[in-house]
Amino acid sequence: MTYSSTVHPAGWLDPASDAFHGKDLARRGWSFATCQRCHGDDFAGKPGAPSCLTCHAKGPTSCDTCHALPPPTGAHDAHRTQGLACGECHVVPATWDSPGHLLDADGTPLTGRARVTFGALANRDVTPPRRTAPATWDSTAGTCANVYCHGGVLADPAATHAQPSWTGGPSQVACGGCHGNPPASHAQRECAMCHPNAGAATPRHIDGVIDIGDGSGVCTGCHGDASSPAPPRGLHGETDRSTLAVGAHRAHLAGGVLRGPIACTECHVVPQNVTDPGHLDSALPAEVRFGALATSDSATATWDRTRATCTNVYCHGGGVSLAADTASGKNQVPVWTADAASSAYCGACHGLPPGDASHTPAMKLTDCATCHPGTVGPFGNILVGNGKHINGSVDLQ
């Protein structure tokens, strides 16, 4: 730009010159009032003094007079693209002359790099709390530490960039940077299985909540439905009984004409909290660990995932006390994915009547109540409400 003036020295409009007007203004302690005496209070110019708005459309005191919005340095643009406000890392002045911006509280001009003062996002914690130190900025190394927005509060040893470099580029925010992929506390990488909202239209990511399942914090958030924690729905959305994830879960928890509901703990170790060891940090499939019912009178109860069958489980007649039962029609090795009616019916677990020395082939269902009155009604129906059928002991009177 060609410049000629008898008021200002040569180089007044040349940013490379020591006489550049911006540098001169800094030396004068940013005294814009000096400029306004000639160029007007609104900097629009006066006779003999051109308008400053020709170059500074928003006025010389606008933020973009000194720096672009966002500045082109480091990761400024990347942060703004993600919708982060300047106030998350800096104290944004209400006006150019606010204390702590260009001038200190006593009016002394400030020099050096812009100050980094982290806001609420960087200093946020998660639920339950994990933060052990405040968010910090190392101007020498050009790195952030303990910032929530880069996983600092998670303290995940598998994270690759939990202390991101300001000039490190896109690699600082790659999946696995803030927390491992998977995190060190996890056993598998299927994020959407436990965190379905991570890819939703309104994602719940970096919002201060470790979102598990539907966010309810209960078992049904990941499997089952509002009526029961037992599938269907499986962890991958399975609903068909022919899948291992669904199988006879609901039939066991609901109970039926042979027995009341069976607790989840009879086949699985049920965590008190979703983050308990052995739950999320355990790889699929879910472990089957038989409880007291299945192992009652049966020291060798086993689950065969390949065949989808239980063997030697007391609750299906595989206990020691029924070993002498030679009656036909038994189904003591039930198939998990079979229809419930084909696996649990009167006569499936023991003969009808049992084929042992205590029973005779001529006995009828109505005879059961003679010796087992607390378990069987006079019409041969199981008294489910009494809780004496499939309970680990033989009701004999």
Tell me the two tokens of residue 45.
């110019």
Query: What's the pLDDT score for residue 99?
Result: 86
Q: How many whole angstroms separate alpha carbon 230 and alpha carbon 253? A: 7
Residue-wise pLDDT for 345-391, tens only, equals 888 888 888 888 889 999 999 999 999 999 999 999 999 999 999 99
The mean pLDDT value for 134-153 works out to 95
**CB-CB contact of 391 with 379 (8 Å):** no
- Band of residue 324 on the pLDDT scale cut at 50, 70, 90: confident
Q: How many whole angstroms separate alpha carbon 87 and alpha carbon 6? A: 42
pLDDT of 1 higher than 50: no
Q: How far is CA 357 from CA 318, 334, 376, in A?
A: 18, 25, 20
Residue-wise pLDDT for 196-239, tens only, equals 765 555 667 887 777 778 777 788 888 998 889 999 999 888 99
- Band of residue 292 on the pLDDT scale cut at 50, 70, 90: very high
- Residue 4 host element (H or E): none
Residues in the chain: 397
Each domain of the chain, given as residue ranges in start order, spans 1-66, 74-184, 186-289
